[in-house]
């Protein structure tokens, strides 16, 4: 019996290490950069349905005096009304952070502005942004807050 006691600590150590590995594999580390890249990819591919799934139920979108609230309003009034007018969204991150429940990035953005009528030249849009992600009750990351402050569009 005494000769088997040395196996107890070894078994406990193995069980603990296996559990931690499984938890890490099931919940890989998420960064704000990863979340924002998924958002940019969906936006640039004009995948409004994928974007809808990224929004929290109580998401807020702010730009100037505009404030949309809730997944439906943000999806319809920001994403669907804007998606056809811009392309090639790019972010230049100045600040970012991630903890167990929140992730954010802030910095500047650039977009190509698509002409709305024939004969109008392409434009270049730019400004500041912040995207704030939060985990929901199921532990899934959702975009909770997006704020854009744009400069006047410049002709390219």
Q: Where are the domains of the chain?
A: 30-155
Taking the whole predicted model, whether its pTM rises above 0.85 is answered as no
Q: Each residue of 115-146: pLDDT tens digit?
A: 988 999 999 999 999 999 999 999 999 999 99
Q: Each residue of 38-88: pLDDT tens digit?
A: 999 999 999 999 999 999 999 999 999 999 999 999 999 999 999 999 999
Per-residue buried b or exposed e for 16-39, using 16+ beta carbons within 10 Å of the residue's own CB: eeeeeeeeeeeeeeeebeebbebb
Predicted pLDDT at 19: 38
Range in 17-26, 104-113, 133-142 the model is least confident about: 17-26
Average pLDDT over residues 21-41: 76
Measuring CA to CA, which residue among 3, 137, 128 is closest to residue 57? 137
- DSSP per-residue codes, 34-60: HHHHHHHHHHHTT-HHHHHHHEEEEEE
Q: Is the pLDDT of residue 27 over 60?
A: no
Residues near 121 by beta carbon (within 8 Å), at least 6 away in sequence: 115, 155, 156
pLDDT confidence band for 8 (50 / 70 / 90): very low
Q: Quick one: fold of 30-155?
A: Nuclear Transport Factor 2; Chain: A, (3.10.450)
């Amino acid at each position: 019996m005494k000769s088997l006691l040395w196996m107890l600590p070894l078994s406990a150590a193995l069980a603990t290490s296996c559990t931690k590995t499984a938890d890490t594999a099931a919940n890989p580390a998420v960064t704000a950069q990863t979340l924002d890249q998924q958002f940019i990819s969906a936006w640039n591919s004009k995948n409004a349905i994928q974007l809808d799934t990224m929004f929290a139920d109580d998401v807020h979108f702010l730009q100037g005096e505009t404030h949309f609230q809730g997944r439906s309003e943000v999806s319809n009034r920001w994403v669907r009304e804007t998606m056809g007018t811009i392309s090639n969204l790019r972010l230049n991150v100045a600040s970012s952070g991630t903890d167990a429940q929140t992730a954010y990035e802030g910095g500047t953005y650039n977009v190509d502005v698509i002409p709305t009528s024939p004969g109008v030249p392409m434009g270049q849009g730019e400004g500041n942004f912040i995207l704030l992600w939060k985990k929901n009750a199921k532990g899934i990351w959702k975009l909770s807050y997006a704020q854009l402050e744009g400069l006047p569009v410049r002709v390219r």
